[in-house]
Structures are given as structure tokens and as C-alpha cells.
Structure 1
Amino acid sequence: MAFEALDELLDETLTLPIGGRRYTIPAPSADTGLRVQTIVQAAAVAASGGQVDEQALGDAAEGDLYRDLLGPAYDEMLANGVTWPALKHAARTAIAWVVQDKAAAERVWSSGGDPSRLAPNRQERRRSGGANTTRSAASTSGTSGRPAPARARRKRR
């Protein structure tokens, strides 16, 4: 079995509609992708109360991450007068694409920047089968949930 050329297998662009225009974001360089992964990991550790990786997060501030991540679409957005919230949302969507996949990027995009819209609500979980219908395992503590036989109860008194 021969491998197909990778560039024929991957869709390496993300196209985002903003203000009546479509901006195509090419796949970032490996260096930018690795930097995004490092920043997201450092931010997750810091958010969960872990040690802040000041170097990883400091490097994010030093470099122009959004420009690197959005590529030529960044300059196009600026030239077309895209607002800061729209540019930031596009960059966050691209981050989800780089760190996870296109489906995650679509969820971020569709959330409109509202984190509460990322988590499916109860009705969505039920519709999608995401609700847990598996019964809990029985106790393994070695005790029975059944009452003691009558004669054992009499001896205890």
C-alpha cells in the first residue's frame, strides 16, 4: 500500500465569513503551530491552579501571535476595517483549529465568543445521545444492600 501525498489529503485552510467577506486562513507554519500548542497548554495549567510557565506565556506577548496565526488574512482584515472583537474571535477560532480540529473551530466560531454556548445544553446532550444512560456499577465495598436475616437481627438486640 502506497501513501498518498499529504497535501492531497489535508484541507489546510480555514475560511471565515466576516462583514460580508470571506477570509481564508492558511495552515500556520509548524513553528507557529507548536507555539500555539505550548501557549494553550501553559494557559490550561495556569487556569487549573498549576505553576505558570512565564516563559511560554511571555513569548506569546513578545511575538505577534494573531498575525502569525491568521497569516495574510490578518492584514486583509485590518485593511478592511474589521473590528477588534471580530479579529480576536477569528484568532480564537484559528487557535481551536490548530490545537484541536476543524470541528472544534466551528464550535468556537458558532459560539460567537460566549463560552457558555460551547458546552451543549441538556436538550442537545439528550438529542445527540450524549446523556449517560449506563447504569452505575453495584457497590464493591463487600457489604450487601439487603437487610440481615431475621434471626441475625434478633441476636443483635
Structure 2
Amino acid sequence: MAFVDLSEVLDADLSLPYKGKTYVVPPVDAETGLRFQRLAAVAAQAAKAAESGEAFNPDDIALDDDQEADLFERALGPVYDEMLADRVPWPVLKVAGMTAWLDAAFNRETAEAYWNAAGSPNQTAGNRTTRRAADRSTRRQGSASGTTRTRSTTTKATATRGRKS
């Protein structure tokens, strides 16, 4: 038995549909793929440390805005510029970039689950460590006073503002 050309049996392109258009993300190069794998390993170690109560510095894994944009640009390749030219909203670019990163760093199933959950870590059916790391990175600080605003209060205030006196 001889080896077949891998390009004949491996579909490495990632197809991401949005509003009737499908963006076809080519696979990242080997160097970028290895970089993404290292980033995933560091994120998994940080999540494990947080889970076990070990000390770790979140700044060691947190990306600033420029690094995040660079990650998305590297993950999406030419599709990054195509999405910018199409003026897709930021949340779409962000979900697409993370999906492409997950595809390169983990696997297609994890990326697909993330995309299909619109980037919501609580709905993603992928890797447990990935979900936990994503959940920690998207948490927002609550009210410092310890109070919360209920939905009915918000709805009532909005309705009141909309009425004419």
C-alpha cells in the first residue's frame, strides 16, 4: 500500500458561512500552527492552575488588543482582510478568528461547536479546558455595591422613557 497525496484526503480549509456568504479560511502554516498549539497549552495550564487554586498570573496568558487582532489575522489569513473589506461587525470577526484558532490549535469539532454557539463558552460542546478558559476570559465584573439590576426594572425604565408625557 502506498501513501496517497494528503491533499486528496484532507480538507484543511475551514468554511465559515455568514449572511449568505461563505468565507473559506485556508489552513495556517506550520510555524503559526505550532505557535497556536503553545498558546493553547499555556491557556490549559492556566485554567488547570485556577481550577486547583494554584497561583498564576493572568497577564501571562491575556492578550492585549493588538495581540488579539494579530491572533485573528494569523488565524484567518486572507479572510481577515476580506471580512474587513466586507465591513462585518466586530463580534463576527472575533468569533471567526477564535473559530479559526480553535481549528488550528485543537480540532475541527471544537471549532465547529464554538462557531455554532456564536462564541458563547457556556454553549460550546468542545474541550472542557477550552470552555473553562474561555469562560474565565469573558466574565465581567459585577456591581461593586453587590446589587443587581433586574430585567423588569430595565424594561420598566425603558418603557417609561419611550412614553410621551
If the TM-score is normalised by the length of the shorter chain, which range does it land in? 0.5 to 0.7
Paired residue type of 1:10:
L
Identity of aligned residues (%): 42
**1:53-93 CA distance string (max 9 Å, x none):** 97776799398121111011000000000111101101111
Which one of 72, 75, 84 corresponds to residue 78 of structure 1? 84
Q: Distance in 1 between matches of 2:113 and 2:68?
A: 29
Q: Distance in 2 between matches of 1:97 and 1:40?
A: 11
**1:5-56 CA distance string (max 9 Å, x none):** 1111210100101232110000000011111111111112122226459777
Q: Is the Cα–Cα contact under 8 Å of residues 25 and 79 in structure 2 kept in the other structure?
A: yes
Paired residue type of 1:109:
W
SS of the equivalent of 1:64 reads helix
Q: Is the Cα–Cα contact under 8 Å of residues 16 and 96 in structure 2 kept in the other structure?
A: yes
- Whether 1:45 aligns to 2:51 is no
Aligned to 2:104: 98
Aligned to 1:150: none
- Measured on the aligned residues, the alpha-carbon RMSD in Å equals 2.7
Q: 1:53–1:42: structure 2 CA closer, same or farther, 3 Å change rule?
A: farther
Which one of 65, 69, 88 corresponds to residue 71 of structure 2? 65
Counting only pairs closer than 5 Å after superposition, residues 18-29 of structure 1 correspond to structure 2 as 18-29=18-29
- What stretches of structure 2 of length at least 5 have no aligned partner? 127-165
Aligned to 2:8: 8
Q: Distance in 2 between matches of 1:63 and 1:119?
A: 25
State the number of aligned residues: 120
Q: Distance in 2 between matches of 1:89 and 1:116?
A: 14
State TM-score, norm by structure 2: 0.63
Aligned to 1:111: 117
Q: Is the Cα–Cα contact under 8 Å of residues 42 and 52 in structure 1 kept in the other structure?
A: no
Larger Rg: 1
**1:99-133 CA distance string (max 9 Å, x none):** 2222222111111111111249xxxxxxxxxxxxx
**Structure with more relative contact order (C-alpha pairs < 8 Å, separation 6 or more):** 2
Paired residue type of 2:43:
A
